[in-house]
Amino acid sequence: MSSTQILPSIDKTHKKAFGPISVPERLLLGPGPSNAHPSVLEALALNPVGHLDPFYISLMGEVQELLRYAWQTHNRLTLPMSGTGSAAMEATIANVVEPGDKVLVAVNGYFGNRLVDMASRYKADVITIEKNWGEAFSLEEIENALITHKPSLFAIVHAETSTGVCQPMEGIGNLCNKHGSLLLLDTVTSLGGVPLYLDEWKVDLAYSCSQKGLSCPPGLGPFTLNKRAEEKLNSRVGKVPNWYLDVSLLNKYWGSDRVYHHTAPVNMNFGIREALRLLADEGLENSWSRHRKNAEELWQGLESLGLSLHVPVDLRLPTLSTVSIPEGVDGKAFALHLINEFGVEIGGGLGVLAGKIWRIGLMGHNSRLENVQKILNLFETELPKFR
Ligand SMILES: *Cc1c(COP(=O)(O)O)cnc(C)c1O
Q: What's the average model confidence in pLDDT over 366-381?
A: 98
Please tell me the predicted confidence (pLDDT) of residue 4.
75
pLDDT at 385 over 90: yes
Q: What is the dihedral of CA 17, 19, 21, 24, to 10 degrees?
A: -120
For residue 3, the model assigns a pLDDT of 65
113 lines ligand 1 (CB under 6 A): no
Nearest alpha carbon to residue 106 among 143, 154, 147, 149: 154
**What are the tens digits of pLDDT across the range 329-373?**
999 999 999 999 999 999 999 999 999 999 999 999 999 999 999
Average pLDDT over residues 251-269: 94
The candidate with the shortest Cα–Cα distance to 95, out of 281, 298, 243, 246, is 246
The mean predicted confidence, pLDDT, of the chain is: 97
pTM over 0.95: yes
The pLDDT confidence band at residue 2, using thresholds 50, 70 and 90, is low
Residue 84 CA: which ligand 1 atom is closest?
A: 7
pLDDT of 27 > 60? The answer is yes
Q: Is the pLDDT of residue 64 over 80?
A: yes
Q: Which residue has a Cα nearest atom 8 of ligand 1?
A: 85
For residue 209, report the distance from its CA to the centre of ligand 1, in Å: 7
The pLDDT, as a whole number, for residue 1 is 53
Interval between CA 385 and ligand 1 midpoint (Å): 33
Dihedral of alpha carbons 122, 127, 132, 135, sign: negative
What pLDDT does 5 receive? 87
Q: Which of 231, 211, 240 is nearest to 86 (CA)?
A: 211
Task: For residues 88-108, give the mean pLDDT.
Answer: 98
- pLDDT above 60 for 177: yes
Residue 220 pLDDT greater than 60, yes or no? yes
At residue 256, the pLDDT reads 84
Over range 8-23, report the average pLDDT: 97
Environment class of 323 (CB within 10 Å of its CB; exposed 0-12, middle 13-18, buried 19+): buried
Distance 7 CA to ligand 1 centre (A): 47
Res. 21: pLDDT tops 90: yes
Asked whether 313 and 299 are in contact (CB, 8 A), the reply is yes
As a whole number of angstroms, the distance between CA 212 and CA 275 comes to 11
Strands 344-345 and 205-207: unpaired
